[in-house]
Amino acid sequence: MSQDIIRAEEVRFSYTTAEGVAPVVLDGVDLKIEEGSFVAVLGHNGSGKSTLAKHMNAILLPTGGAVYVSGMDTADEAHLLDIRRTVGMVFQNPDNQIVANVVEEDVAFAPENLGVPPEEIRRRVDDALKAVGMYEFREHAPHLLSGGQKQRVAIAGVIAMQPRCIVLDEPTAMLDPVGRREVLTTIKNLNRTSGVTVVLITHHMDEAAQADRLVVMARGKVIADGTPKEVFQRVEELKAVGLTVPETTELLWELRQDGLDLPLDALSDEECADALYQLLQ
Ligand SMILES: Nc1ncnc2c1ncn2[C@@H]1O[C@H](COP(=O)(O)OP(=O)(O)O)[C@@H](O)[C@H]1O
Ligand SMILES: [Mg+2]
């Protein structure tokens, strides 16, 4: 039986600032993340994605409702360490996540803090660096690496803690196209080969299209949830909340507006080309 590793129930949240309580940022979010799945969360800037991500390992606690990580209430302090071991976080800027001057020392940092025995750390660090394709760089200085390589080292640092779930908050936002591709391939591999649950927050349609499931947020609410094929067909709704759709869907949608008989669910380049070819036949 597959279990939900993260369960958000009616989550509401407002930041408290010096000026008082700010507006509602999460406005009744219900979300279940199934163990082993690869879920993308898409949404316009300010829609509450990062705030939601921080609820997934108790960096933030809900003002209303509740979040459960592997059945543990994040508001229960007794579970904090367990929750942080279960769900690892990767952030946007790799430079802020690198703490050591040698790649392998950087990856060893978190497990060392968890009190993992040295010989076990050696094995975990090697495995984590291999999993992200950075093993041959283990003795390099992190600051000399490319953005994509640094972000992969940051991911290795999280993997070395052996979390069951990794939440990545726009991990490719600061990377060039090569770095973006490297990081996305790494994430997909982790999910496919190690069964690690992945929650990928992104505003890139092409990245979201590669997930098993796509959740769309707008103004602190989940407004769509389904497979990328299902969700991207809701073109008008997505445009209404300031999002675009993948180029394939956009093309098919525009041609349909002109009255052509085309399917809207041909998401990959190949499917889209096939659909156009069939129409031309
Ligand atoms: N630390 C903070 N204090 C006050 N308001 C914040 C803070 N962080 C984010 N916000 C506000 O919360 C809203 C949602 O932000 P965020 O979760 O970062 O959205 P996203 O990641 O989708 O861009 C925005 O209006 C933002 O200005
Ligand atoms: Mg954000």
pTM above 0.75, yes or no: yes
Cα(27) to centroid(ligand 2), Å: 16
258 occurs within a structural domain: no
User: If DSSP states are collapsed to H, E and C, what string results for 134-173?
Assistant: CHHHCCCCHHHCCHHHHHHHHHHHHHCCCCCEEEEECCCC
Q: Which range of residues forms the domain containing residue 128?
A: 4-245
Q: Which of 11, 12, 15 best tests ligand 1's pocket when mutated (most atoms within 8 Å of CB)?
A: 15
Cα(256) to centroid(ligand 1), Å: 37
Exposure string of 46-57, with b = 16+ CB inside 10 Å and e = fewer, is ebbbbbbbbbbb
Cα–Cα distance list, 134 to 76, 122, 128, 146 (Å): 37, 15, 9, 12
Give the atom of ligand 1 at the shortest distance from the alpha carbon of 43.
Answer: 22
**CB neighbours of residue 132 within 10 Å:** 26
Cα(51) to centroid(ligand 1), Å: 6
Residues with CB under 5 A from ligand 2 (ion): 49-50
The amino acid at 93:
N
Averages of pLDDT over runs of 10 residues in the chain (281 residues) are 88 90 92 97 94 97 97 97 94 90 95 90 95 95 94 94 96 90 93 95 90 96 96 94 91 94 92 93 88
278 occurs within a structural domain: no
| Residue for token pair 């509401």 | 12
Q: Which pair of tokens denotes residue 50? A: 């990062």
211 occurs within a structural domain: yes
As for how many domains the chain has, the answer is: 1
Of 205, 203, 163, 168, the closest CA to residue 70 belongs to 163
Backbone angles phi, psi at 23, to 5 degrees: -60, 165
99 occurs within a structural domain: yes
260 occurs within a structural domain: no
Q: What is the pLDDT of residue 18?
A: 84
228 occurs within a structural domain: yes
270 occurs within a structural domain: no
Q: What is the pLDDT of residue 1?
A: 47
255 occurs within a structural domain: no
Q: What is the pLDDT of residue 230?
A: 95
Give the atom of ligand 1 at the shortest distance from the alpha carbon of 45.
Answer: 23
| Burial group, residue 157, by CB count within 10 angstroms (0-12, 13-18, 19+) | buried
CATH of the domain at 122: 3.40.50.300
CA atoms within 13 A on the CB side of 216: 27
Q: What is the pLDDT of residue 2?
A: 61
Ligand 1 site: residues with CB under 6 angstroms?
15, 17, 22, 25, 43, 45-51
Q: Which of 24, 44, 50 best tests ligand 1's pocket when mutated (most atoms within 8 Å of CB)?
A: 50
Strand ranges in 57-120 using DSSP code E only, listed in sequence order: 64-69, 72-73, 87-90
Give the atom of ligand 1 at the shortest distance from the alpha carbon of 44.
Answer: 22
Q: What is the pLDDT of residue 114?
A: 82
